[in-house]
Amino acid sequence: MQPRTGGRPATPRLILATRNAGKVSELRAILEAADLDVELVGADAYPDIPDVKETGVTFAENALLKAHALARATGHPAVADDSGLCVDVLGGAPGIFSARWAGTHGDDRANLSLLLAQLADISDEHRAAHFACAAALALPDGTQRVVEGKLEGTLRHAPSGTGGFGYDPILQPLGDTRTCAELTPNEKNAISHRGQAFRALAPVVRELLG
């Protein structure tokens, strides 16, 4: 139960396991659109808490690891997400290894170049892929929920577009003629795997935080 101030429950604080201000703003807008009175802050509000190693073997496991660690460390409910690119012909890879596919974490250009080289001889009809995201909400008492989002598409043979990051320049969403890197930020947020997961999280926040 939330402590009361002046007869009303205090606004619950929710922590998002990221230091990316854009991601915090995205989830905050979704929660506001759902008419949820929650104080959302990023992990940078707790600079002494170290980042959690993503040792899970699924997106959901990694999201839960981060959410539980942050909830335990702060005593507040926490949200975390994990996402990546899953290529059908590669059996779902790079998957959880998307950010370090070429060996160095976060080297977008190297990851992209390696993946394109691996798929160089794959024809268009076999280049199906999707972005996947798992978003987890964990409470300090151990309660947890996980929701997921997915953006289906096909992979281009060469990058196109300057927006976004990661594999955005080569994934063309189904029903569109542009890559994710050619969409405006609003267009991308409306269909993205993370946007879908965050929107699915809003009723979970309402259920658990009231």
Considering the candidates 35, 51, 81, 82, report the single residue annotated as catalytic. 82
The pTM score is 0.91
Q: Is 82 part of the annotated catalytic residue set?
A: yes
Which CATH number is correct for 4-209, 1.10.3190.10, 3.90.950.10, 3.30.70.2740, 3.40.630.30?
3.90.950.10
Known binding site for Mg(2+): residues? Answer: 82
**Sign of torsion over alpha carbons 166, 171, 174, 175:** positive
Rounded distance, CA 89 to CA 200, Å?
A: 28
Rounded distance, CA 28 to CA 111, Å?
A: 30
Q: Where are the domains of the chain?
A: 4-209
Known binding site: residues? Answer: 18-23, 82-83, 165-168, 188, 193-194
Q: What is the pLDDT along the chain (210 residues), one digit of tens a residue?
A: 344 445 556 889 999 999 888 889 889 999 999 999 999 999 999 999 988 989 999 999 999 999 999 999 999 999 999 999 999 999 999 999 999 999 988 899 999 999 999 999 999 999 999 999 999 999 999 999 999 999 999 999 999 999 888 999 999 999 999 999 999 988 998 999 999 999 999 999 999 997
Query: How far separated are the first and last CA of the chain, in Å rounded?
Result: 9
For Cα atoms 106, 155, 108, give the angle at the middle one, nearest 5 degrees. Answer: 10
44: which residues sit within 8 A by CB, 6+ positions away?
A: 19
